[in-house]
A and B are shown apart, each in its own frame.
Chain A
């Protein structure tokens, strides 16, 4: 039980010392990606090998005892997992397999020698340390600082690395001054809206009603995003610390973390962290003898994207259907249980301890005017280095996609980037867009948004009409059905997009599509509906030619839309075996035995059955 500020500081230096005593550390990534690749088995294997070896090599016993084998949070370089980092050398081993463990222990841990074949290698150059790898070199890992570097399940390591110091500092300040500090830092909500966090807090502080609540939105439902998941899994104490500070600053004594049910590991790590914090007296009654009490509950979502919206999320915690309501009153006045509520995203809370402990001036050195700090992005899709990255606000798309992401794989060319999930937009590849500094305001000006930070890269083989259809089918399915523009509008837009992708669209449809999109954008009740049309509007703006090709030439330039494909038989290759005619479900294929057959394209439904049936590969699809 930590009793006060001095207690915490002395405990921190104690933990720091024992951490330093571990002269060698093996950090095995235990984020979802690497766990899927078998990293937990690697952890067990290395742990037992270390034990075995120190028993065998008795002269080195004392030295070997200092090896710390840990499960860390997500290192971010998911493409190359399972990842193993070895300190103090800072070697990063990629694609580690169980068979490699023996060598890691005997060669690297005992002799300090690198194993080059496990290291990052590109164009003949081997990168020994993690920090040298271009993927990491160009990042600024502030929020993700601990992810991959400390044991995600250990409060000692968190404290040893300066954790919970920010809470102790905040508790020595006035609530008002904490709010002011967050305002001065310029921090804007990382969940997508970009609302000034400190302003939200001060509004809750000024509400006369009690109780007040702090709610952490961990309902990261955007397809293509996993930033919050990685923070909750890799550094859960930072989220708790941020919520604690928020509670003190606004006068709340109870906090809720709403985590989507698809993230069982995050729930698990948060539960562990909350129990540890309770045990250390960093949660519960009279924290650090300050008189301030705070408790945190975890609520699991049940699979509704719309619950990422504030009023729907609070309704869901209250045991209702997660449907947004008309605002005002806003969440800061009447949020959870009709009480004043601070609602922030996971990443926003993770920024708070940094602001308090580093100070406003230092924090504002990161980022650009009106967009201070860093942003975590999930870089996925058709890009060489997929994974989790963190860059200062204002970094250009070009730096993210080509310098950190390593460009497009398989000699393809870059076509578009989709930012902000189903609420965001698709940006085209041109000089102007690639040089956009990533910030809340600049992206909005081109019809996209930062959203929660999902960034999906698409190459030339991606059909943008199909992408728009894909997003619309998502929002249509997730629409809660409360307001008509969203419920009916998304359905109608989806109908039209489906019509276009199967080759039945007309030019009039494009106009109607635009009209509906514009109406839904302007009249829907909540953020989900208001932004649902963004993928349609942005693809219509930047990829209008592709839409035209679908409706006028009846052609899909990327050759993705099956309904627009044309299937024909190459007469010179056809032996007239009649197999294709027998499998065709609509009788579109005719011809005599041992003579070339033909497909009647008016009857053909493009099911592809004949393609599979032909033993001579005489049937082609274009």
Chain B
């Protein structure tokens, strides 16, 4: 069960948007920033508070790619597979990361909840292709070797 005391925080977010139904996307965005994903209980609570149907909020939350109904890892790695990165070989980088973290295209979060790996269509840093971001910090011109090194460093820092 998700933490029980979420109501206070979520109420605050909803009130911050004047309980306006039209601001639903901004509200969900802020909630996701808070919890890193959208727990079911919270979505239901928001829908009830704003007096919209559960199916509607579910529809919105699943329509937009940025929203996640699954809990994500502590570190979020995004591999850009936009055109520029793709033609500069982004797929071998993805495979190197999968291999290093023992993940695949069906399982994208590590068991210890430390890493989530996602591919994104374009981060808009095409001049530096191929790029990845780790927790929104952009790493330019990466190679399969350099990402493995990066990951090892993050793992080491975590254990220190």
Q: Does B bind A? A: yes
| Chain A interface (Cβ < 8 Å from any Cβ of B) | 32-33, 35-37, 78-79, 81, 220-226, 229, 261-264, 299-305, 316-322, 378, 380-382, 386-388, 418, 421, 454, 456, 458, 462, 467, 470-471, 474, 477-478, 480
Chosen A-B contacts, 11 in total, with CB atoms closer than 8 Å, are A33-B127, A33-B128, A36-B140, A79-B127, A224-B82, A226-B127, A261-B66, A304-B65, A319-B21, A382-B88, A467-B87
What's the least CB distance linking A437 to chain B, in Å? 23
A361 vs B30: C-alpha distance when bound (angstroms): 48
Question: Contact between A380 and B63 (Cβ–Cβ < 8 Å)?
Answer: no
Q: Which of A32, A302, A382, A388 sits near B64, CB closer than 8 Å?
A: A302
Question: Contact between B122 and A223 (Cβ–Cβ < 8 Å)?
Answer: yes
**Most chain A beta-carbon contacts within 10 A, residue among B26, B63, B127:** B127
Tell yes or no: B22 within 8 A of A by CB.
yes
A478 vs B65: C-alpha distance when bound (angstroms): 9
| Chain B interface (Cβ < 8 Å from any Cβ of A) | 21-26, 28-29, 59-60, 63-67, 81-84, 86-88, 120-129, 131, 136-140
User: In the complex, which residues of chain B have a beta carbon less than 8 angstroms from the beta carbon of A471?
Assistant: 83
Question: Contact between B83 and A224 (Cβ–Cβ < 8 Å)?
Answer: yes
Question: Contact between A458 and B127 (Cβ–Cβ < 8 Å)?
Answer: no
User: In the complex, which residues of chain B have a beta carbon less than 8 angstroms from the beta carbon of A380?
Assistant: 83-84, 126-127, 129
Question: Contact between B131 and A300 (Cβ–Cβ < 8 Å)?
Answer: no
Question: Contact between A322 and B64 (Cβ–Cβ < 8 Å)?
Answer: yes
Q: Which of A36, A220, A301, A382 sits near B87, CB closer than 8 Å?
A: A382
Question: Contact between B64 and A304 (Cβ–Cβ < 8 Å)?
Answer: yes
User: In the complex, which residues of chain A have a beta carbon less than 8 angstroms from the beta carbon of B86?
Assistant: 223, 470
Question: Contact between B124 and A387 (Cβ–Cβ < 8 Å)?
Answer: no
The answer to whether A454 and B83 touch (CB under 8 A), given A35-B138, A36-B140, A386-B129, is: yes
Question: Contact between A387 and B127 (Cβ–Cβ < 8 Å)?
Answer: yes
A264 vs B81: C-alpha distance when bound (angstroms): 19
What's the least CB distance linking A471 to chain B, in Å? 8
Question: Contact between B126 and A386 (Cβ–Cβ < 8 Å)?
Answer: yes
User: In the complex, which residues of chain B have a beta carbon less than 8 angstroms from the beta carbon of A263?
Assistant: 124
What's the least CB distance linking A475 to chain B, in Å? 10
The answer to whether A302 and B84 touch (CB under 8 A), given A36-B125, A380-B126, A387-B127, is: no
What's the least CB distance linking A200 to chain B, in Å? 25
User: In the complex, which residues of chain A have a beta carbon less than 8 angstroms from the beta carbon of B63?
Assistant: 304, 321-322, 480
What's the least CB distance linking A580 to chain B, in Å? 19
What's the least CB distance linking B31 to chain A, in Å? 12
A17 vs B72: C-alpha distance when bound (angstroms): 53
